[in-house]
């Protein structure tokens, strides 16, 4: 049976060509996707498998199943129990249940409603010692009794391998099976399935190598020393050698090994000693608005909500023009160095200097949205919002009184005396309101009371660079050490709404295998800063001829020193501050147009390629694949219109007014979008299979 490269999709808005070959006949196949985070939110992998579910269900229908651990609360709140439609799966579940191991089946209540098979680890824990012995006999990997996570992963893997054996025995070659395993926790299932010669095609995806995470958490110079690490020694010193062995064994047992980005592929080649066969980037479910510029309207609406918060937070020091204020933000796990908060703070200090020296009238308010240990909301922050609301109520009361007197005067046919329309009491109320805004200290840097203020990395560096929100600072900092929520009494906004209201997301990460945050900015039409050490940054460099023109600023942290990277980030932010309002609107339009590139309907093709490659290696007699076929991507050309970034030749002052925009080259958003659709550059290849070369894991079962 020849394999094609098709995906059940149509051309994405005319920008990305669809594959036209005959699609793979999934009626004769079953696809099982195994991950610890199926219906169990722990980290970023949950987002990957949850968002990818719909495009996979669209292609595979009822032949697609997700597998993971059973947790009672998650099952009751996220899964609708039902009977499996496939008789072989029902019989396999019964076989496990009759041997005292509980298995639960249902539909996961997310977009696409995929089937899920969840294994109760607790019910099978009595087999742990026996299964540890099986693992040792199979691959000489021993698990310590105190590592519960590793022990649980072995129980899950043993149940899954047992399940696959039962399914294949009942199918009797009527259907072929593909098993796709994510991360090291799912590794034991793959290792045991292969060692028992279960007839199935296997794929293993690492979203970040286990040792890579540990090394970068220790602030080592990771990428410049990849070839110098003593891998076994490093894993042993961190007491994760057994986990590392599980991960590496799974990588080498799989028919096809994939990673989520090119930078992680380089890391995996050194850490796990196998070059990935296919790069499978992470996508999002992109929802387009019916109105062309609805996302611009959402930006204005949510920006106004952020401005209201800023008015309260900076009461008494609101001596800057909010209409000439830009909102930058960084968000994610509180990994100070890995997420690039260190280089970001240093760059903000330099940006503040540049804005003051050039007498730029633009102000930048920077939000740090990173959860940390806190006691409660900062009293001064809550007081600021209360005073803002009190001032609003006062202004509203006076406005109503003023409006009524003006209305009465106009009805009588004369213009009232403005000096008499407000009486002494009105002026007294307004003066009291003004006096209430006086504050003796500076606006707080953090919105919460930190548990360990003196040792907090962000606050320690704020003290070092001296950005305390003083009147002279053109860069203001607000540290919100809690994830955003619409129910918060301080900043009542969900994360998506907050992102839409900001002007620039800044994510100068040092270790970021993919990075969903800049991707989320892109699909919302918000420019962002990323790095060439993040999977997202590498992906955009490969797909776009001029990322900066599309609002994707890529800082070089791989081939430049920290000082040079810091200066580059500073220059990116300073150039952004010099843009006119019109230029920022153009750039948001361009950024939003890249959302098709991050849609699972496009990126799903890389998973299709991996599955077909696995089938051709596991069942070479039934499935044949041309080794010269490649999974192709496409590059956006450089925009034709005037550059979105200011040019020194256009004006002599650091910032020109919106009035000068009338002399700019005419810009037609629809015309430029059509040019992008027509002028896609020649495709380039990802994940090519070398001709005639036997890949690791390539063998017949």
Phi/psi of residue 45, nearest 5 degrees = -65, -30
What average pLDDT does this structure show over 257-286? Answer: 95
Tens digits of per-residue pLDDT, 425-453?
888 888 887 887 788 889 999 999 999 99
Query: Residue 414: is it exposed, middle or buried by C-beta count within 10 angstroms (0-12/13-18/19+)?
Result: exposed
Range of 522-531, 585-594, 682-691, 692-701 with top mean pLDDT: 522-531
In whole angstroms, what is the distance from residue 666 CA to residue 661 CA? Answer: 10
More confident position, 103 or 642 = 103
Query: What pLDDT score does 217 carry?
Result: 84
What is the model's pLDDT at position 334?
93
pLDDT at 612 over 70: yes
Identical fold, 29-279 and 293-377+444-597: yes
Q: Residue 669: what pLDDT?
A: 62
Domain boundaries, the chain: 29-279, 293-377+444-597, 379-441
b/e sequence 224-242, b meaning 16+ C-beta within 10 Å: eeeeebebeebbeebebbb
Distance (Å, rounded) from C-alpha 197 to C-alpha 200?
8
H helical segments located in 412-523: 424-436, 457-465, 495-501, 516-523
pLDDT at 44 over 90: no
| Host H or E run for residue 64 | strand 64-69
655 pLDDT exceeds 80?
A: no
Please report the pLDDT score of residue 648 as a whole number. 42
Q: How far apart are CA 441 and CA 54, in angstroms?
A: 52
Q: State yes or no: pLDDT of 659 exceeds 50.
A: no
Contacts of 491 (CB under 8 A, 6+ apart): 309, 447, 480, 484, 498
CATH code for the part of the protein at 293-377+444-597: 3.40.50.2000
Residue 679: closest CA among 642, 637, 643:
637
Is the sign of the CA dihedral 637, 639, 645, 648 positive or negative?
Answer: positive
| Over residues 665-671, mean pLDDT | 60
Cβ contact 170:199 at 8 Å: no
Check residue 14 and give its pLDDT: 39
Question: Is 422 a residue whose pLDDT tops 90?
Answer: no
Mean pLDDT of all residues in 541-566: 93
pLDDT score of 56 more than 80: yes
- What are the pLDDT digits (tens) for 98-142? 999 999 999 999 999 999 999 999 999 999 999 999 999 999 999
Total Cβ atoms within 10 A of residue 438:
8
The dihedral built from the CA positions of residue 9, 13, 14 and 16, taken in this order, carries a sign that is negative
Average pLDDT over residues 642-659: 44
What pLDDT does 420 receive? 74
Residue 649: the pLDDT is: 40
With tokens 């999934």, the residue in question is 26
Coil vs helix vs strand at 553: strand
322-341 tens-digit pLDDT: 999 999 999 998 999 999 99
Architecture of domain 29-279: 3-Layer(aba) Sandwich (3.40)
> What average pLDDT does the chain have?
86
Check residue 293 and give its pLDDT: 73
* Mean pLDDT, rounded, for 406-417: 83
Q: Hey, what are 60's tokens?
A: 């595979």
Q: How far apart, in whole angstroms, are the C-alpha atoms of residue 179 and residue 201?
A: 6
E strands in 387-496: 448-450, 475-480
The pLDDT tens digits for 13-27 are: 334 444 444 467 888
CA 364 to each of CA 307, 327, 422, 482, 577: distance values in angstroms, whole numbers, following the listed order: 12, 6, 37, 21, 8
Residue 40: the pLDDT is 93
- Residues with Cβ within 8 Å of 542's Cβ and at least 6 positions away in sequence, in order, are 262, 633, 635, 684, 686
Give 373-385 pLDDT, tens digit per residue: 999 999 999 999 9
Has residue 637 got a pLDDT over 80?
A: no
Confidence of residue 290 (pLDDT cuts 50, 70, 90): low
User: 379 is written with which tokens?
Assistant: 């009293």
Q: State yes or no: pLDDT of 483 exceeds 60.
A: yes
Position with higher pLDDT, 700 vs 35: 35
Distances (CA, A) of 615 to 24, 256, 313, 368, 503: 11, 9, 58, 46, 46
Of 224-238, 275-289, 418-432, the one with minimum mean pLDDT is 418-432
Mean pLDDT of 649-674: 49
């Amino acid at each position: 049976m020849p394999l094609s490269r098709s995906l059940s999709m149509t051309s994405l808005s005319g920008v990305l060509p669809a594959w036209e070959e005959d699609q793979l006949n999934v009626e004769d196949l079953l696809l099982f996707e195994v991950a610890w985070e199926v219906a169990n939110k722990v980290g970023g992998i949950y987002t990957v498998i949850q968002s990818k579910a719909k495009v996979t269900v669209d292609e595979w229908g009822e032949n697609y199943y997700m597998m993971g651990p059973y947790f009672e609360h998650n099952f009751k709140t996220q899964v609708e129990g039902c009977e499996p439609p496939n008789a072989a799966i029902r019989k396999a579940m019964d076989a496990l249940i009759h041997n005292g191991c509980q298995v639960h089946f249902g539909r996961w209540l997310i977009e696409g409603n995929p089937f899920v098979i969840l294994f109760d680890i607790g019910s099978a824990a009595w087999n742990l010692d026996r299964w540890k012995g099986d693992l040792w006999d199979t691959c000489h990997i021993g698990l310590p009794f105190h590592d519960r996570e590793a022990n649980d992963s072995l129980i899950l893997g043993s149940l899954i391998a047992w399940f696959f054996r039962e399914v294949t025995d009942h199918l009797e070659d009527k259907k072929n099976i593909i098993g796709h395993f994510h991360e090291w926790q799912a590794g034991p299932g793959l290792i045991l399935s292969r060692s028992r010669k279960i007839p199935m095609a296997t794929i293993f995806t690492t979203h970040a190598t286990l040792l890579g995470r540990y090394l970068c958490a220790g602030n080592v110079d990771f990428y410049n020393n990849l070839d110098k690490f003593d891998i076994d020694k490093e894993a042993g010193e961190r007491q994760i050698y057994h986990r590392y062995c599980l991960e590496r064994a799974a990588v080498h047992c799989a028919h096809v090994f994939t990673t989520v980005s090119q930078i992680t592929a380089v890391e995996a080649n050194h850490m796990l000693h196998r070059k990935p066969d296919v790069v499978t980037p992470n996508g999002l479910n992109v929802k387009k608005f019916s109105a062309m510029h609805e996302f611009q309207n959402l930006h204005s609406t949510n920006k106004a909500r952020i401005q209201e918060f800023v008015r309260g937070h900076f009461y008494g020091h609101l001596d800057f023009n909010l209409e000439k204020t830009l909102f930058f933000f960084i968000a994610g796990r509180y990994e100070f160095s890995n997420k690039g908060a260190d280089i970001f703070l240093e760059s903000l200090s330099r940006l503040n200097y540049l804005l003051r020296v050039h007498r730029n009238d633009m102000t930048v308010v920077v939000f740090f949205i990173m959860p940390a240990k806190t006691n409660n909301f900062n009293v001064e922050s809550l007081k600021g919002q209360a005073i803002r609301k009190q001032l609003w109520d006062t202004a509203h009361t006076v406005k109503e009184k003023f409006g009524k007197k003006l209305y009465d005067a106009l009805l009588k046919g004369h213009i009232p005396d403005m000096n008499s329309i407000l009486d002494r009491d009105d002026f007294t109320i307004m003066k009291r309101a003004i006096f209430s805004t006086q504050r003796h200290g500076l606006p707080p840097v953090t919105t919460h009371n930190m548990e360990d203020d003196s040792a907090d990395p962000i606050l320690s560096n704020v003290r070092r660079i001296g950005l305390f929100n003083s009147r002279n600072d053109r860069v203001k900092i607000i540290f919100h050490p809690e994830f955003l929520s619409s129910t918060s009494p301080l900043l009542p906004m969900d994360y998506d709404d907050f992102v839409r209201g900001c002007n620039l997301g800044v994510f100068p990460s040092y270790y970021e295998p993919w990075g969903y945050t800049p991707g989320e900015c892109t699909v919302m039409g918000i420019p962002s800063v990323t790095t060439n050490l993040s999977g997202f940054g590498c992906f955009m460099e490969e797909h776009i001829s001029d990322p900066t023109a599309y609002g994707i600023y890529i800082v070089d942290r791989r081939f430049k020193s920290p000082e040079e990277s810091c200066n580059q980030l500073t220059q990116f932010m300073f150039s952004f501050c010099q843009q006119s309002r019109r230029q920022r609107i153009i750039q948001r339009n361009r950024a939003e147009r890249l959302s098709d590139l991050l849609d699972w309907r496009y990126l799903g093709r890389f998973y299709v390629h991996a599955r077909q490659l696995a089938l051709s290696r596991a069942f070479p007699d039934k499935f044949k694949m041309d080794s010269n076929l490649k999974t192709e991507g496409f590059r956006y050309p450089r925009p034709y219109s005037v550059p979105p970034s200011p040019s020194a030749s256009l004006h002599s002052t650091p910032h020109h007014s919106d009035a000068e925009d009338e002399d700019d080259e005419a810009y037609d958003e629809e015309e430029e979008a059509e040019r992008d659709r027509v002028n896609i550059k020649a495709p380039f290849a990802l994940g090519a299979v070398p001709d005639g070369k036997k890949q690791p894991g390539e063998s017949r079962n």
